């Protein structure tokens, strides 16, 4: 079932644009973003945003930034539609699981209830950041540009997100 007549391609574009925006917003580099996953059986629907160079398991000090990066995709998608369909909910859960892993890689070992609370605060932060009007405008421009080409390099993403 499609919600609000927004097709899956548009939802994926906004989801990936949210991830890419957050990387740039937090001062991290985007390698590429795509509406189609480069891997067969990637564990979810198509679409992927690849950070450049600084992998979180090599830089535990960046774990919170990478957690926000993970949570920004679902935040942007939810901001677009204001509700989840089953597929969007699965993707949001997958991204939340990844955020938890990033936090754990950063050495933050905590009981489940504290982790839940911490992840909720990061989800709220991601939603706040993507829903700010200036940020949402950038995400929207990036999502529509991505729908035209399917895949963009980090340089192309930067050109769009750095425009005033």
Residue 40: its pLDDT value, please? 43
Please check whether residue 142 is in contact with residue 161, taking contact to mean a CB–CB distance below 8 angstroms: yes
**Percentages of the chain per state (helix, strand, coil), in multiples of 5:** 65, 5, 30
Decide if 146 contacts 159 (C-beta within 8 A).
Answer: no
* Cα three-residue angle 21-1-77, rounded to 5 degrees: 10
Q: Which residue has the higher pLDDT, 96 or 109?
A: 96
**87: Cα separation from own chain's centroid:** 15
CATH topology of domain 8-161: Methane Monooxygenase Hydroxylase; Chain G, domain 1 (1.20.58)
Q: Per residue in 32-56, pLDDT tens? A: 999 986 554 455 567 888 888 766 6
> Domain segments of the chain: what residues?
8-161
- Residue 55, pLDDT score: 67
DSSP structure class, residue 52 = -
**Segment 140-163, tens digit of pLDDT:** 999 999 999 999 999 999 999 987
The string of DSSP codes covering 63-75 is HHHHHHHHHHHHH
Q: Please give the model's pTM, rounded to 2 decimal places.
A: 0.88
Contact 36, 58 (CB under 8 A): no
At residue 85 the predicted structure's pLDDT band, cuts being 50, 70 and 90, is confident
- Alpha-carbon distance of 14 to 12, in angstroms, equals 5
| Per-residue pLDDT, 118 | 93
């Amino acid at each position: 079932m499609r919600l609000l007549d927004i097709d899956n391609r548009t939802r994926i574009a906004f989801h990936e644009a949210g991830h890419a925006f957050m990387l740039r917003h937090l001062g991290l580099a985007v390698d590429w973003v795509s509406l189609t996953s480069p891997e067969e059986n990637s564990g979810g629907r198509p679409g992927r945003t690849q950070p450049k160079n600084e992998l979180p398991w090599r830089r535990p000090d960046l774990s919170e930034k990478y957690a926000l990066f993970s949570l920004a995709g679902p935040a942007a998608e939810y901001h677009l539609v204001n509700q989840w369909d089953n597929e969007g909910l699965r993707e949001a859960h997958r991204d939340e699981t990844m955020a938890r892993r990033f936090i754990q890689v950063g050495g933050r070992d905590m009981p489940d209830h504290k982790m839940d609370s911490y992840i909720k605060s990061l989800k709220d932060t991601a939603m706040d950041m993507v829903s700010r009007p200036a940020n949402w405008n950038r995400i929207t421009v990036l999502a529509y540009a991505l729908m035209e080409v399917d895949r963009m390099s980090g340089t192309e993403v930067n050109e769009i997100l750095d425009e005033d």
